[in-house]
Amino acid sequence: MADNGIGTHTRKEGRQETREERSDRNWVELLQELRVMQTGVQILTGFLLTLPFQYRFEDLDDYQRGVYLVLVALSVLTTGMLVAPVSLHRALFRKNLKAEIVTGGDRMTRIALVMLALVMTGAVVLVFDVVVGRAAGYVVGGSILLVLLALWVVVPAVVQRRA
């Protein structure tokens, strides 16, 4: 906010930057977001990949093993989706397509957020199913999914509407 000289503040309209400068800034911001997401997904994926080597893994029933295998596949695919913008950048580097790279990376990151929400929800479903029971897994997993939806979709929409 900038002071308009009479004691009130007005929102400064945009930045004075070229299309290329905006694309560069947006790419850097996207990379920062990807770094945060990639760390969490990689830790979760690593955790999931170690589970079959735990002594209690053999105690899982068919449903739990099915959920586990879906989670491993989805977690690895989520990791791949989060790395995809970097691959897109490498493929299109120095081809004067930065805006297109940023747009593609943004879309991939949005898809990865949905995938991440599903992996996190599924992991909670599996853990609660094993520890407490199937019904608890469904209830807590559904609750987690709703909270993530609120945090990642509803809150940004409310902030945007208020801005």
The 10s digit of each residue's pLDDT in 93-120 is 999 999 999 999 999 999 999 999 999 9
pTM: 0.84
Query: 10 pLDDT band (50/70/90 cuts)?
Result: very low
Residue 12: the pLDDT is 54
Closest CA to 110 of 78, 158, 71: 78
Closest CA to 122 of 56, 61, 70: 70
Query: 15 pLDDT band (50/70/90 cuts)?
Result: confident
Residue 14: the pLDDT is 72
User: In one letter, which amino acid is 89?
Assistant: H
4: pLDDT strictly greater than 50: no
pLDDT > 70: percent of the chain: 92
What residues does each domain of the chain span? 17-122
User: Which of 7-11, 57-61, 64-68, 121-125 shows the lowest mean pLDDT across its residues?
Assistant: 7-11
Residue 8: the pLDDT is 47
13: pLDDT strictly greater than 80: no
Average pLDDT over residues 52-81: 96
The contacts of residue 41 (CB under 8 Å, 6+ apart) are 75, 78, 79, 82, 112, 116, 119
The conformational region for residue 96 under phi > 0 = left, psi -120 to 50 = alpha, else beta, is left
Average pLDDT over residues 12-17: 74
Report residue 50 as tokens: 């170690």
